[in-house]
Homo-oligomer: A and B are copies of this chain.
Amino acid sequence: MAIDLERRPTKKHAVVIGAGFGGLACAKKLRKLDSYSVTLIDRNPYQLFSPLLYQVATASLPEDDIAFPVRTAYQDVQFVRAEVTNIDATKKELILSNGKTISYDDLILAVGSEGTTFGIPGVAEHAFQMKSVSDAREIRHSLLSAYESVEDGLLPLESLNVVIVGGGPTGVELAGAVKELQHEIHREFEHIAPKATVTLLEAGPRLLPTFHPHSSKYTLKTLTKMGVHVQVDAAVVEATPRSLRLKDGREIVAGTRIWAAGVVAPPHWKFLGETDRGNRIKVNSHLQISDSIWIVGDVASSPDGDGRPLPMVAPVAIQQGKHVARQIQRRESSKPLEVFKYRDKGQMATIGRRKAVVEMRSWLRFQGSLAWLTWLALHLAYLSGGRNRTSIFADWIWNYLVWTPRRTIID
């Protein structure tokens, strides 16, 4: 092979903001383009595998298991740990919180979403969110330390109670896992633990509102059988330091109050253009807001065929991330851009050991053990990095087959 002595033109620069599902999918594909160098920016040096965050919150998995280090993961992607404060679209420049600037040829915004309290008083102060590793850590601490404080007489019995707001997959998964955790803790705190309750509140008429009503019904029945108090049509109007108050006047007293009731895109990015009610930026059918700015994942408002916004879930983000990388490649080869089309592969939620609901096609729905095994397998498959996969697999073997004590570091 002859050595190429021609002077190559300087590479173009693609900058991806956000190392979540969408951003990583895009960066991984973009780095294969010879004509581009790729920079990935995130405030954390890891990809958080948020679908398993609830297992960290309930002391089933150590937090390192669901954090995939991105810094050195891809040799041909430059990682920058930073917070982006502004975008100068004219100069094609990002401004970082440390004052530095980074210029780009293509910018991919994939910053994900954050929890929202819908402005309900007290929620921000008196309820835990479920979006970050430190959220999960705080929930775990609250759940576990309550037993010791109650036993020592420092807190009343009601502190063992847990209330979770939001009947989506996160709320359902958390409710089931917290109930199972409580069951295990009974062994040690026999005299106080049986009093502990879990309440799951959903403002709408049914759990898992985006699923088929049949799945909702199965989920309600299963959670109830496990001992979770499920209440639908239960809108929260206030959070206090010891309880949640409902619209109908009732008050649910609980030591741990978790808010899993909805997410919005970060309002910070609204300056980029027109947004919907959830702060999501409206994009064209190629996922662009300009020739050089692409929006991917939860932060993109990209209608499906029916004109409804796509759900804020990992599969949408991944497909969009890949789509954008492909479009940049097409544009470089002077091919016309393609319209983004979401291929819905279904949805699933786990409820507890050997209990889950899976919906793959409108005609392919199943529940129970098989659904649960499907859930396990697909989550393992979606994990980035063989290391985390092995580690979680080993932990699940212990949790589900060997039933060893939970990991219980409490500071």
Contacts and interface: CB of A to CB of B under 8 A. Distances in A.
A251 interface: no
A205 interface: no
A75 B398 CA distance: 18
A233 interface: no
Contact of A72 (B98, B153, B187): B187
Interface in A57-82: 62-65, 67, 69, 71-73, 75, 79, 81-82
Contacts of A188: 71-72, 79
Nearest to A65: B62
8 contacts: A45-B410, A72-B184, A72-B187, A82-B152, A98-B152, A385-B405, A387-B398, A390-B397
A369 interface: no
A86 interface: no
Contacts of A404: 385-387
Interface in A112-161: 133-134, 148, 152-154
Given A62-B65, A98-B152, A71 B387 contact: no
A391 interface: yes
A405 B69 contact: yes
A409 interface: yes
B46 A408 contact: yes
Given A63-B62, A387-B398, A390-B394, A407 B69 contact: yes
Interface of A: 44-46, 62-65, 67, 69, 71-73, 75, 79, 81-82, 98, 100, 133-134, 148, 152-154, 184, 187-188, 385-387, 390-391, 394-395, 397-398, 402, 404-411
A171 B133 CA distance: 31
A385 to B, nearest CB: 7
Contacts of A62: 62-65
Contacts of A398: 386-387, 390
Contact of A394 (B148, B153, B394): B394
B69 A411 contact: no
Q: Which 10 A-B pairs have the closest CB atoms?
A: A62-B64, A69-B405, A64-B407, A69-B408, A72-B405, A387-B404, A62-B62, A387-B398, A98-B152, A72-B188
Contacts of A134: 411
A187 B78 CA distance: 11
A285 B76 CA distance: 65
B391 A46 contact: no
A291 to B, nearest CB: 31
Given A62-B64, A81-B148, A71 B405 contact: yes
Given A62-B63, A386-B402, A394-B394, 15 more contacts: A45-B410, A62-B65, A67-B409, A69-B407, A71-B188, A71-B405, A72-B188, A72-B405, A98-B154, A100-B152, A133-B409, A386-B398, A387-B404, A390-B397, A391-B391
Residue of A64, A69, A411 ringed by the most chain B CB atoms within 10 A = A64
A408 B45 contact: yes
A243 B81 CA distance: 27
Contacts of A64: 62, 64, 407, 409
A395 B408 CA distance: 19
A387 B395 CA distance: 8
A303 to B, nearest CB: 36
A387 B409 contact: no
Contacts of A387: 398, 402, 404
A67 B407 contact: yes
A25 B410 CA distance: 23
Contacts of A407: 64, 67, 69
A71 B144 CA distance: 12
A189 B391 CA distance: 27
